[in-house]
Amino acid sequence: MKISPSKIISLLFFIFSGFYLYTAHQIQVFTFDENAAFNAKTFPIYLGYAGLIFSALYVLLPETRPSNVDLTVLDYKKTITLVILMILYGLTILRVGYFLSTSIFLVLSYIVLGERKWLWIFLLSFPFVAIFMYLLHGLLNIYLRDPFLQYIGIMG
Amino acid sequence: MIEGILIGLETAFSLKNLMMVMIGCFSGTIIGMLPGLGPMTAIALMIPITYGFEPSTGLILMAGVYYGAVFGGSTSSILINAPGIPGTVATSFDGYPMAQQGKAGKALAIAAYSSFAGGTIAAIFLLIAAPSLSKVSLAFRSPDYFGLMILGLTAVSAFSAKGHFLKAMMMVVLGLMLASVGQDTLSDIPRFTFQNMNLSDGISFVLVVMATFAMSEALTIIFKANDPTRVAKQISLSQLGSIKLDKIETKKMVTTIPRSSVLGFIIGVLPGAGSTIASFLAYGMERNFVNDEEKQKFGKGSVNGLAAPETANNAACSGSFVPLLTLGIPGSGTTAVMLGALLGFGIQPGPRLYQTNPEIFWSVIMSMYIGMVILLILNLPLIPYIARVLATPRTFLIPLILFFSVTGIYLMSFNNFDIYLMIGIAVLATILRLYDFPMPPLILAFVLGGLMEENLRRSLLISDGSWSFLWDRPLTIVIMTVIVLIVLWQCIKSFKTKIG
């Protein structure tokens, strides 16, 4: 028997709803609130049941409009590389600083997506981020932590 | 009242206040266009500046920023499918497909005209009916609000999911589940935080909207880059269209705008409902009003489908000032920020605001109209330039969308955890979108989650734990009946599709 990807996702959502419901029951409420008509876990418990019902209905009922996706045409390589770049960007933004990490993230992303116009790659990374930072930091007074710029003495 | 209007006109038309409206509208549009920075952020940024002004001038500036940011949010919804605020999510349903068809200029023009018309009509309503309309909102009780929110979520699932009702309902539940993360508002008990301090305040709206719309859209474009149908869409993205509307399009707008304005304004008056529900309901209502041929175009670039939510969200913005100015109760998150600013000026909004500070009450209402005119004059000529964002090659546009998304969330929290959480939600959303699990119901549920729980809590406590509150009041019965009808209609439709 072949099961459609949408049904697999719904089945996973069913399991997730079950876990959510279990966690909702574990929420510690105050003793005096335990038997109240409504406490901190009432709404999550209803949500857990709603998730179980809707996902079970989708799994059990026949699909009226199945989603057809051709998995062979999807570009996994570029997408996964971009996600990894974003994770690395998130990892370095506090340690290296906003300016350098953002600029490098932009340069690498342009290259990964196949861009080879080097002048534009440069203009839309380092100078672009510098102007953006000036707008945020200089004009709108939004503090941006940047150890790199502090180290080279540009930022106080 | 005439005397009050004259005082308001005199204050609003002073050179200083006119300048403030202009500055507010312009800066609001720019800030609102940036994904992640909506009206709330824009107004919050303005608060320190306004303390140097008189209260009326400060409030006029903030009202200008509010309208500008709402329009700016629509622009990013249409151009890059990244709604900066929940009120413009419905705009992207038809605005973005229109932009993909090479009619970005036209879509932005429709948004500008609809915003102007909706805002103008609502400003007139506000002028005439502000005192009496506050009584309407007082008639709503917690069970009615709870019912209204379920109605909004059911309507969105039924109308925006293109036949995937159950998938949309799963997304509604997922949105509500995400909203339940963090401390319980009443008891401060942590829920689903797994002892992680970063989750104790809950998940931010900007994070979820950026992840499910901007970031996931960018990833989907790359993911489907080799898909022949997708390639065609990308080519059309680089074509800039005219901003001129033909007779048929104008005629469609003329019929849509009045009904969406009325609906938007009434929904805006209800505290908590605001522009998000207004735009979604207007979208759903409009779909029911149009003929079958036009109905097929919904979600694929319909003029009615774009004009309705745009009109309604601006009308709701005006409507949300009614509870703020007459009752002192903010109707939305943005007006809540404005309430904070007013209290900072030492002004307590409420029924006595007419008598104690008539210049504030009326000048704000007058400025709204002036703001609408300025917004139209300012934005229409700029549309061809704004639309040029689309001409940016995909190799540059995608990294820039990702950069704005990450920056938007980084500026709010300054920690890595939120960035990782956003990437995780974006990856999940990309997979879900691939299999037609719709994102708008998730977003609306996420926004309404806290309010829904609050109103359910009140309703259940009043009725001593009994669910009879759902049929105790005539207004609640009407709302619940509409919900049941929508669900039945979906069941019949699915059954017919299967049989057919």
Q: Are B169 and B177 in contact (CB under 8 A)?
A: no
Of the candidates A75, A109, A142, the beta carbon closest to that of B223 is on A75
A113 touches chain B (CB under 8 A): yes
- Indicate which of B188, B435, B468 best probes the interface with A, i.e. most A CBs within 10 Å of its own CB: B435
Sign of CA dihedral B167, B169, B170, B171: positive
* pLDDT reading at B266 higher than 50: yes
Sign of CA dihedral B236, B114, B439, B317: positive
What distances in angstroms separate CA B190 from CA A30, A31, A41, B454, one per listed residue?
Answer: 12, 15, 10, 16
A41 touches chain B (CB under 8 A): yes
pLDDT given at position B130: 66
How would residue B235 be classed by pLDDT, with cut points 50, 70 and 90?
Answer: very low
* pLDDT reading at B6 higher than 90: no
Could you give the CA distance from residue B76 to residue B71 in angstroms, rounded to a whole number?
9
Task: Name residue B90's amino acid.
Answer: A
How would residue A5 be classed by pLDDT, with cut points 50, 70 and 90?
Answer: very high
Could you give the CA distance from residue B447 to residue B206 in angstroms, rounded to a whole number?
10
* pLDDT reading at B286 higher than 60: yes
- Indicate which of A86, A99, A104, A107 best probes the interface with B, i.e. most B CBs within 10 Å of its own CB: A86
pLDDT given at position B236: 46
Pick the most confident of B41-55, B91-105, B191-205.
B191-205
Neighbours of A91 (CB within 10 A): 14
What distances in angstroms separate CA A40 from CA B190, B205, B336, one per listed residue?
Answer: 9, 21, 25
The residue written with tokens 């116009």 in the block is A117
The backbone region for B253, taken as left when phi is positive above 0, alpha when psi lies in -120 to 50, beta otherwise, is alpha
A131 touches chain B (CB under 8 A): no
pLDDT given at position B158: 80
> Average pLDDT in the B203-230 region?
78
Chain B residues in contact with A101 (beta carbon < 8 A): none
More confident position, A153 or B206: A153
CB contact under 8 A, B399 and A145: no
* pLDDT reading at B20 higher than 80: yes
Closest-CA distance of chain B to residue A34, Å: 12
Could you give the CA distance from residue B433 to residue B168 in angstroms, rounded to a whole number?
11
Chain B residues in contact with A41 (beta carbon < 8 A): 191
How would residue A150 be classed by pLDDT, with cut points 50, 70 and 90?
Answer: confident
How would residue B40 be classed by pLDDT, with cut points 50, 70 and 90?
Answer: low
Which tokens go with B103? 């009619």
CB contact under 8 A, B180 and A43: yes
Q: With pLDDT > 90 as the criterion, what percentage of chain B qualifies?
A: 17
Q: Which residues on adjacent β-strands are paired with residue B182?
A: B191
Neighbours of B285 (CB within 10 A): 17
* pLDDT reading at B29 higher than 70: yes
For B466, name the nearest residue in chain A, comparing CA atoms only: A37
**Closest by CA position to B74, among listed B248, B317, B262, B286:** B317
* pLDDT reading at B234 higher than 50: no
Pick the most confident of B263-272, B293-302, B307-316.
B307-316
pLDDT given at position A50: 97
Pick the most confident of A61-70, B319-328, B424-433.
B424-433
pLDDT given at position B231: 43
Neighbours of B60 (CB within 10 A): 31
CB contact under 8 A, A83 and B423: yes
Question: What is the rounded radius of gyration, in angstroms, for the C-alpha atoms of chain B?
Answer: 22
Chain A residues in contact with B395 (beta carbon < 8 A): 110, 113-115
Q: Which distant-in-sequence residues (6+ apart) come within 8 Å of B248 by Cβ?
A: none
Q: Are B312 and B118 in contact (CB under 8 A)?
A: yes
pLDDT given at position B311: 92
Closest-CA distance of chain B to residue A81, Å: 11
The backbone region for B224, taken as left when phi is positive above 0, alpha when psi lies in -120 to 50, beta otherwise, is alpha
Of the candidates A69, A114, A144, the beta carbon closest to that of B434 is on A69
* pLDDT reading at B230 higher than 60: no
Question: What is the rounded radius of gyration, in angstroms, for the C-alpha atoms of chain A?
Answer: 25
Q: Which helix (H) or strand (E) covers residue B199, if one does?
A: none
> Average pLDDT in the B98-105 region?
83
CB contact under 8 A, A106 and B464: no
The backbone region for B436, taken as left when phi is positive above 0, alpha when psi lies in -120 to 50, beta otherwise, is left
Could you give the CA distance from residue B186 to residue B190 in angstroms, rounded to a whole number?
11
Chain A residues in contact with B393 (beta carbon < 8 A): 115
Which of these ranges, B159-163, B328-332, B340-344, has the smallest mean pLDDT? B328-332
CB contact under 8 A, B436 and A65: yes
pLDDT given at position A140: 66
Chain A residues in contact with B226 (beta carbon < 8 A): 73-75
CB contact under 8 A, B170 and A110: no
First and final CA of chain B: distance in angstroms? 61
- How is B223-276 classified by DSSP, letter by letter? HTTT-HHHHHHHHHHT--------HHHHHHHHHHHHHHHHHHHHHHHSTTTHHH
Helix ranges restricted to H, B270-414: 274-289, 292-297, 303-319, 321-322, 333-344, 353-356, 358-386, 394-413
Q: Are B461 and B166 in contact (CB under 8 A)?
A: no
pLDDT given at position B207: 84
Q: Are B430 and B210 in contact (CB under 8 A)?
A: no
Q: What is the pLDDT of residues A60-83, one digit of tens each?
A: 998 877 888 888 888 999 999 999
What ipTM does this complex have? Answer: 0.94
**Closest by CA position to B213, among listed B19, B410, B402:** B402
Could you give the CA distance from residue B301 to residue B307 in angstroms, rounded to a whole number?
11
* pLDDT reading at B134 higher than 70: no
Q: Which of residues 67-106 of A touch B (CB under 8 A)?
A: 67, 69-70, 73-76, 78-79, 82-83, 86-87, 89-91, 93-94, 98, 102, 105-106
Tell me if residue B140 falls in helix, strand or coil: coil
- Scored b (16 or more CB within 10 A) or e, B160-179 reads bbeebbbbbbbbbbbbbbbb
> Average pLDDT in the B333-348 region?
71
CB contact under 8 A, A65 and B45: no
The residue written with tokens 């990807």 in the block is A5
Could you give the CA distance from residue B283 to residue B67 in angstroms, rounded to a whole number?
20
A-to-B residue pairs, Cβ atoms closer than 8 angstroms: 171
Could you give the CA distance from residue B135 to residue B154 in angstroms, rounded to a whole number?
27
Neighbours of A6 (CB within 10 A): 23
Task: Name residue A149's amino acid.
Answer: L
How would residue B171 be classed by pLDDT, with cut points 50, 70 and 90?
Answer: very high
Q: With pLDDT > 70 as the criterion, what percentage of chain A qualifies?
A: 98
More confident position, A20 or B292: A20
How would residue A12 be classed by pLDDT, with cut points 50, 70 and 90?
Answer: very high
Pick the most confident of A95-99, A145-149, B48-52, B406-410.
A95-99
Q: Are B387 and B378 in contact (CB under 8 A)?
A: no
CB contact under 8 A, A110 and B399: yes
Tell me if residue B302 falls in helix, strand or coil: coil
pLDDT averaged over every residue in chain A: 90
> Average pLDDT in the B249-260 region?
90
Of the candidates B186, B436, B457, the beta carbon closest to that of A67 is on B436
What distances in angstroms separate CA B64 from CA A69, B22, B27, B59, B450, one per listed residue?
Answer: 45, 7, 9, 9, 28
* pLDDT reading at B240 higher than 60: no
Neighbours of B65 (CB within 10 A): 32
Chain A residues in contact with B453 (beta carbon < 8 A): 43
B482 touches chain A (CB under 8 A): no
Q: Are B133 and B269 in contact (CB under 8 A)?
A: yes
Closest-CA distance of chain A to residue B358, Å: 33
Helix B39-50 with B333-344: angle, nearest 10 deg: 10
More confident position, A141 or A63: A63
* pLDDT reading at B450 higher than 50: yes
